Structure 1
Amino acid sequence: MKREEELHTIELIRNGNLELYKVIVEEYSPRVLSVIRGVLPCKEDAEELAQDVFVKAFFSLNKFRGDSSLSTWLFRIAYNMSISKTRLKKVKFVPIESAQIESNNCSDISEEEIYMKEKRFELLNRLLSSLDPSERFLITLFYNQEKSIKEISQITGIGESNIKVKLHRIKKKMGEMVGGKMEVSYG
């Protein structure tokens, strides 16, 4: 959804066209859920929290000023609610299942390649499970959601330079765990 379209849709919702909120939920729920899953690995908890995020966003639409994109605003709500939930109950990271490893065409992939992919996912799971929820959230935003440093700053309320430092430290920490260096690009 383009920025002008977002603002127009929000204005219509504020003026009573509540059916349009369904469009926002359908448009953004997969990405909001993905961001939440970066902090809350339990699918059911994440889905429940995603619903809560959209309920909270609906009742807070009058506070949306349009300074940032709607997705940034929704991710900010999701971030705050996710971190609050992890504080309420200690959340343990649940690893990615090897069944979740998908390939476009399994017949084109050798057994060795499948084995190597599974090993990489095992390593990734170990690395991610060693991070605290806020670190996993930053990694999810930067790599999975492909958010810029500026957008992450808007979502988290942390300064851009601090985000760069945190990402660098997280990558360094992960790199040390695998005995190598991981490069960070802030493009």
Structure 2
Amino acid sequence: MLQREISEWFYHYSKDIYHYLVYYIGAGDVEDLVQEVFIRAIKSYDSFQRNSTPKTWLLSIARNVGIDEIRRRKRSKIMYVVGLRNQEPQEEDTPEDILHLTERNKELYKTIQSLKPNYRDVLILRAIKELTVSESAEILNWNENKVRITYHRALKTLSKEMEGILYEK
């Protein structure tokens, strides 16, 4: 039963998780991270209490996987800077690598990445993944009011940032 259910979830939600992680951490090894989400789901399947939808539960796991990946990348950069890393070249993520987005979408992507984490989290869940306030609140471990307020502020900040970018060109 577990294997069949996880397989069905993978079929239904892997694209959503992939897109979430692309926006959350950027390009690079996202396919591996999607697999990591489902590995963690299998390992913690017994803790899934079915108080939420499988999609919401998997996205909360994806958020934790994303946080872990960002931490790992920061440690790698620090080690590289202080010379503790091998001299092998690092893969640089360029906007062209990120889903071959249009020029405006590239700017939007970079602007979302530059926002503070709370704004980025709520924007990805509400605007990009189109989750409800309650689903977003559950994933972020926030109350619904905080989701609404933070989302509103994030949209205002994103709008101001994008306005500045568009006028610079």
**TM-score normalised by the chain length of structure 1:** 0.68
Match of 1:66 in 2: 50
Q: Is the deviation greater in 122-131 or in 77-86?
A: 122-131
Q: Residues of 2 paired with 1:82 and 1:43: CA distance?
A: 12
Match of 2:141 in 1: 157
C-alpha displacement of 1:158: 1.4
Size of the aligned set, in residue pairs, is 148
Match of 2:6 among 21, 27, 40: 21
CA displacement 1:122-167 (0-9 Å, x = unmatched): 5423422322444333212112211011110111111111111211
Q: Structure 2 regions of 5+ residues with no counterpart?
A: 78-91, 165-169
Q: Is the deviation greater in 127-136 or in 71-80?
A: 127-136
SS of 1:27 mapped into structure 2: helix
Match of 1:100 in 2: 100
Q: Residues of 2 paired with 1:99 and 1:78: CA distance?
A: 19
SS of 1:158 mapped into structure 2: coil
**TM-score normalised by the chain length of structure 2:** 0.74
Segments of 4+ moved more than 4 angstroms:
91-94, 96-99
Match of 2:23 among 32, 38, 47: 38
Instruction: Give the conservation status (yes or no) of the 8 Å contact 2:56–2:139.
Output: yes
C-alpha displacement of 1:23: 2.2
Counterpart residue identity of residue 62, structure 1 = D
Instruction: Give the conservation status (yes or no) of the 8 Å contact 2:17–2:59.
Output: yes
Instruction: Give the conservation status (yes or no) of the 8 Å contact 2:37–2:61.
Output: yes
Q: Which of the pair has the greater relative contact order for Cα pairs under 8 Å at 6+ separation?
A: 2
Does 2:62 correspond to 1:78? Answer: yes
Task: Flag the 1:98–1:54 CA change in 2: closer, same or farther, 3 A.
Answer: closer
Higher helix share: 2
Counterpart residue identity of residue 52, structure 2 = S
Q: Structure 1 regions of 5+ residues with no counterpart?
A: 1-11, 102-117, 181-187
C-alpha displacement of 1:100: 3.1
